[in-house]
Structure 1
Amino acid sequence: LIVPVITMSTIEKAELKNLTQAVRQGSGLGGFHGTMGDSFRNEPDYQFMTGGQWVAHPGDIIDYTVVITRPDDPITKGVSDFAYRSEQYYMHVDP
């Protein structure tokens, strides 16, 4: 499993080629937030591989409500809507 822990950095073309090839050949790739979505801003091939690109923090730290839309799902069973205070981030994604 490859887990990028890099934010706003660069990657050499040969390194990116090796990374994308490893993922194509079955290596797992996982990550979150800036260490996945904002690792290599100037590399579209990386963004195509991950399916998205981090863009900005609109509003910085905000209060919002997390709404549980599937209360019957085993992951959310017993969890109700709740208030949360955190950063909000905006991403370009490719579903």
Structure 2
Amino acid sequence: MFLSLRRWLIAIAAGLYLYFLLPATAVIFYELYHLTGFGPVYWGYSAFKAGGYYFGAWDYQLLSCVLVALLIGAAPAVFRRNKPNEQA
């Protein structure tokens, strides 16, 4: 079914995460690095910090978040395989 509520809620949550919470994820990685001292966690902080900054400054941020949500929500309906009729 094209209108699966669970799939659309996940799609909307992903779009909202990209729009609002990408820089906040960098803060979580930063604090986790200082709690653990584990080096690769700092790489995650650097990636999310740069991604949050450049994605937030991009002119097409809102459009891309809406497109991501639409792709997640509609992709299973568009790319659904037709199952051949099974004969007994």
By relative contact order (CA 8 Å, sep 6+), the higher-ranking structure is: 2
For the pair shown, which has the larger CA radius of gyration, 1 or 2?
2
Band of TM-score, shorter chain: under 0.3
Q: TM-score, normalised by structure 2?
A: 0.25
Higher strand share: 1
